[in-house]
Every structure is written in C-alpha cells, then in structure tokens.
Amino acid sequence: MKVTVVKGKASEVKADLLALGLPEGKAALKGEAAELDSATGGAISAVLATKTDFSGKAKDRFTIVPVSGIQSKRLLMVGLGPARGVDAEVLRKMAGAAVREAVKVKASSVALLAPSAGTGKMKAQETAQALAEGAGLGGYLFEEYRSGERKLGPETLGIVSGTAAVARSMRAGATAGEIISESVALARDLANHPANVATPTMLAKRAESLGKKYGFKTEILGPQQIEKHGMAGLMAVSAGSSQPARFIVMRHTAARGGKPIVLVGKGLTFDSGGVCIKPAENMERMKTDMAGGAAVIGALTALARLKVRTNVIGLIPSTENMGGASAFRPGDVLKMSDGQTIEIINTDAEGRLVLADALCYAKGLDPAAVVDIATLTGACMIALGVYASGLMGTDERLMKRIEAAAKATSERVWRLPLWEDYFEQIKSDIADMKNSGGRPGGAITAAMLLSKFVEGLPWAHIDIAGTSWSEKETDLVGKGATGAGVRLMVELVRSWSGRP
C-alpha cells in the first residue's frame, strides 16, 4: 500500500473510500469535518442527529453510500471517543479501521481525513505517522498459503492535508509510519510462516537480503563458528534437530558512530520442548517462538531505512528445539563461553540458554545498552495476560527509556522485580546455576539467569510470550503474529539518538 499526503479539500479527493474520524460531543463537526458535511449537503450531521447510528464513541462505525457532493465513492465515519483523549493510538486505530473496512468492500484506494478536534497537542508530522502506521498495521494480510481467492488490501492510501505547509510537515511523518508498519508486517510474516519454511537458514538468508537492500551489514555464523565461539547453549539446543543452527549478526552503522545499542532476539523457529516434550495441544503455535528474533529483524530494517543516527547491532541465536537422538537431556551441564556453568533441569527452558550465548557475545561489542526480547516464558503470560509484555532489567535509566517508548507506541510493558532473592531458586547443587527454578516466579527466574551474563552492562529484558500472538481481530491486528516489539524498539532507538 503506497502512502501519500494529498493537498486540498477532502470533498475533492477521489477515493473508493474516504474515512473521517469524529470524536464524541458537539465539537465533532469543526474545521475540515464541517466543510465535508457542508459539501455532502449535511449528510454527516444528519447521521449525528440520530444519536443512535453514530455518536463518536470509540467503537462506532457508519458508512454513507452512495454519497453526493464529494468525489469519493463512500464515506466512512469512525468514532474516536472523547475529544480530550484523541492521541496517536486513537489515530492508529482510526486508520486501521478504515483500511480493514476497505478490505471488506474491496476498495483499492483509501483517503483519511485527520480530525482537528482534540489533536492540538499533536504536530502534523506525528499525526501523519500515526495514520500511516495504523493503516499498515490494520491492513496487514497473510494469505500466502491459500490456494483459492485471496483477500486484497487497498493499493493506495492518501492522508488529506488542507494546506501546502501542513502537507510538507506531514510527508516526513507519513514516510516514517509507512516504513515502520512495513517492518512490523515483515516481523509478522516471519512469525506466521510455518516452521518447515521459516527455518534458521531461511531467517539468516532473509536478514542478508534485507541488509543488501537497505544498507546494513550482516554476518551469519554456522555450526562451526558457533562452536568456535563456545556458544554451548545454542549448540546444545540445536543438537536434536536436523536443521543447522545460525547466529545472525546485523549491523547498522551511523555516520556519527558511538557505542552501539544491541538488540537481541530469541530465534527458536520451532520449539517442541525437546526431551521434555510439550503437550500436543497448541504445539503448532511453537512456530512463533522466534517472534523476538523476527522483531529484531523488523526493527533493524526500519532503523536502517530511517537512517537513525545511532549505531545499532541486532543479534539472533536461531535454531529448533527437537527431541532427536542427539538432543540434550535433563541433568546435562553446559559450560558457557564466559566460563559459567548451567545444569539442565528442563529442556523446554531452552530460550534462556541461547539468549545467554547472545548476551555473552554482546558484552564483547562494548555496547551502550543491551535489550533482549523473547517469547521466553508461559509464566509471563499467566502473570500479565495478552495486553502487556514483561519488563525486567538492571539499569533504571534504560528501563525508563523503554517505558517511555512503550507509552509512545502503546506497546505496553509492565515491570516485574528482579531481586537477587530469586536467584536462590536457580542455584544448582553441581553447577553455577540451573536453567529452571520451577513454576513460582518463572518469568523472573528466567530473567535472573540472563542477568548473570550481562553484569556490568545496562541491560533490559522484554518477555513477549503473551503479546506476540493474537487470537482475535482488532483495528490494528488480525489473528496470528502481532509483530510485538518492533515499534517499541524503533521508538527506543529513535528517541535515544534524536530523530533524523
């Protein structure tokens, strides 16, 4: 979907569907909305007068078709809720709702009229970014494996701007929003692909092709290099699979240089649980155990395209966790590359092992900060459900930066404690630590293990076990992979470095 900023009156825009966002209350018909109502001979105010068909509440939708007095074929009214609450997330949902409606009615072109009421705190550039982001998120479709007729999204999206000056401000925001939503779609695609397609080798090749296209460097470590680096966790977890492991390194180098921000994503392309095999029910979802790695690929792609001013390195340890004849076992002891040892209690607690390898590797990069993101524990989903990701870490300033990025993107995070007391649960009788401390505080004890491999570094861990997948459709996501974390990480780095 190509995004443009259209200068002029909304009534003169030619589109298959024109969407107008309206807040609750008498203030709804102001500015451009009032002009549009006048052009339609009062069609909008007539709908508002009913107070039943449409009142501007967040879930309200009403389509006028056919509609006279304007160039567009149909007019969609989208409720925004209270005017004082109209923010970037509300605009994202407005745009997402419009594009999802366009898919239903097979509209190939969509135009959006940004509401003027209640958005005084938002600059034109921010408004355009929110609308472009929301349109891309809401219009995402994954139809690759359907043999019959496939759904099609709109080809073009026009964001209506009244004046040339506003249009100029909006274009940069629209471009950023388009890039970011495309990068989220990339992460969703990778996680939605079945595990027989999205193998570690496929992830590595995709990262390489994206690097060549958008100008970031990639380095792929195969089994021999992984062994040379002493990545005991990645070697152990991959031992039971016929798919060779890959350690993916992506580097975005900025002109002004400086210490890099390192983003680490868990890349388990399928997790059977290994010898400690998972229950059969819902095991097909374990193709998404690489959602953290997919998010890092998406984020690096977006940051390179946006030409951020900070050096960024993405690390993805990628493998399958299978129960083949060579699979690692409960009771095994692994010696990690930094010399620490881990006793294996549960082979289904494998993500923290491959992430520990990546964190050891990150320490050698002299980073400004390290952030890892992973579908790490079912315990986090039990604690927080599907509406927030778990956040733990060792650096207060970094944690606050992540929370600010989460607020800006509405990719919510919630802090969990990381007190040293929790280490008692993962103390081993024969090694430095064990890879599972049991069910109590499972998300925290997993993060506690990771913390032992980044001591001395600003580090944070984001557990997206609950937020990486959606079982229902909303304005911004369909059923399936959500691309959780891409927008948060992009916002974190952009706000850290200053937007170009």
- Per this entry, what is the length of the chain? 500
174 within some domain: no
Cite the beta strand spans of 46-170 per DSSP E: 61-64, 75-79, 109-113, 156-161
- The reply to whether 278 belongs to the active site is yes
Q: Are 469 and 281 in contact (CB under 8 A)?
A: no
Please name which of 194, 384, 373 lies closest in space to residue 300, comparing C-alpha atoms. Answer: 373
Residue 136's pLDDT is 98
Q: Are 356 and 450 in contact (CB under 8 A)?
A: yes
172 within some domain: no
Q: Are 120 and 165 in contact (CB under 8 A)?
A: no
Name the DSSP letter for residue 334: E
* φ and ψ of 130, to 5 deg: -60, -45
One domain for residues 160 and 191: no
Neighbours of 456 (CB within 10 A): 7
179 within some domain: no
In the predicted structure, residue 80 carries a pLDDT above the cut 50: yes
One domain for residues 198 and 144: no
Alpha-carbon distance of 75 to 348, in angstroms, equals 52
User: What confidence tens digit (pLDDT) does each residue in 247-297 have?
Assistant: 999 999 998 779 999 999 999 999 999 999 999 999 999 999 999 999 999
160 within some domain: yes
One domain for residues 160 and 208: no
The single residue of 188, 266, 352, 401 carrying the catalytic annotation is: 352
User: What confidence tens digit (pLDDT) does each residue in 213-236 have?
Assistant: 999 999 999 999 999 999 999 999
Q: Which residues contact 486 (CB under 8 A, 6 or more apart)?
A: 180, 183, 184, 187, 295, 298, 299, 302
SS3 412: coil
Alpha-carbon distance of 469 to 281, in angstroms, equals 16
Give the strand order in the sheet containing 109-113.
2-7, 156-161, 109-113, 17-22, 75-79, 61-64
Residue finishing a domain among 164, 193, 212 = 164
User: What confidence tens digit (pLDDT) does each residue in 388-404 have?
Assistant: 999 999 999 999 999 99
Alpha-carbon distance of 224 to 261, in angstroms, equals 27
Residue 398's pLDDT is 98
145 within some domain: yes
Write b or e for each residue in 234-257: b if 16 or more Cβ atoms lie within 10 A of its Cβ, otherwise e.
Answer: bbbbbbbbebbbbbbbbbbebeee
Residue 500's pLDDT is 56
Task: Indicate the pTM of the whole model.
Answer: 0.96
One domain for residues 482 and 382: yes
One domain for residues 369 and 435: yes
One domain for residues 153 and 193: no
201, HSE (Cβ side, Cα atoms, 13 Å): 7
Q: Are 29 and 123 in contact (CB under 8 A)?
A: no
CA 283 vs CA 54, 332, 471: distances in Å: 43, 25, 15
Residue 118's pLDDT is 39
Q: What would the two tokens of residue 363 be?
A: 């320490």
pLDDT category at 183 given cuts 50, 70, 90 is very high
One domain for residues 155 and 207: no
269 within some domain: yes
One domain for residues 273 and 422: yes
Q: What would the two tokens of residue 418 be?
A: 């990381």
In the predicted structure, residue 117 carries a pLDDT above the cut 90: no
- The reply to whether 92 belongs to the active site is no
In the predicted structure, residue 26 carries a pLDDT above the cut 70: no
Segments forming the whole domain that contains residue 190:
185-497
Q: Are 413 and 303 in contact (CB under 8 A)?
A: no
- % of the chain beyond a pLDDT of 70: 98
One domain for residues 157 and 103: yes
- % of the chain beyond a pLDDT of 90: 89
Average pLDDT over residues 83-112: 96
Residue finishing a domain among 102, 129, 164 = 164
CA 278 vs CA 143, 283, 284, 286, 378: distances in Å: 28, 7, 11, 10, 12
Residue finishing a domain among 112, 135, 164 = 164
Alpha-carbon distance of 145 to 311, in angstroms, equals 37
One domain for residues 107 and 153: yes
Residue 198's pLDDT is 98
Contacts 24+ apart (CB under 8 A), 73-76: 73/15, 73/16, 73/17, 73/107, 74/16, 74/17, 74/18, 74/105, 74/107, 75/17, 75/18, 75/19, 75/20, 75/36, 75/40, 75/43, 75/44, 76/17, 76/18, 76/19, 76/20, 76/101
Q: Are 56 and 22 in contact (CB under 8 A)?
A: yes
User: What confidence tens digit (pLDDT) does each residue in 28-77 have?
Assistant: 788 888 999 999 999 999 999 988 889 999 999 999 999 999 999 999 99
User: Which residue is it, tokens 């002891």?
Assistant: 333
- CATH code at 415? 3.40.630.10
Establish whether the linkage from the previous residue to 66 is cis, with ω within 30° of 0. yes
261 within some domain: yes
483 within some domain: yes
- CATH code at 7? 3.40.220.10
Write b or e for each residue in 271-286: b if 16 or more Cβ atoms lie within 10 A of its Cβ, otherwise e.
Answer: bbbbbbebeeeeeeeb
Q: Report how many domains make up the chain.
A: 2
One domain for residues 368 and 467: yes
Average pLDDT over residues 152-173: 89
Please name which of 423, 247, 246, 233 lies closest in space to residue 332, comparing C-alpha atoms. Answer: 233
Alpha-carbon distance of 39 to 160, in angstroms, equals 16
The single residue of 278, 407, 412, 415 carrying the catalytic annotation is: 278
SS3 245: coil
One domain for residues 157 and 189: no
Please name which of 73, 59, 69 lies closest in space to residue 19, comparing C-alpha atoms. Answer: 73
More confidently predicted of 121 and 240: 240
Mean pLDDT, the chain, rounded, equals 95
Average pLDDT over residues 80-93: 93
Q: Which residues contact 355 (CB under 8 A, 6 or more apart)?
A: 233, 264, 266, 317, 372, 374, 376, 450
User: What confidence tens digit (pLDDT) does each residue in 321-365 have?
Assistant: 999 999 999 999 999 999 999 999 999 999 999 999 999 999 999
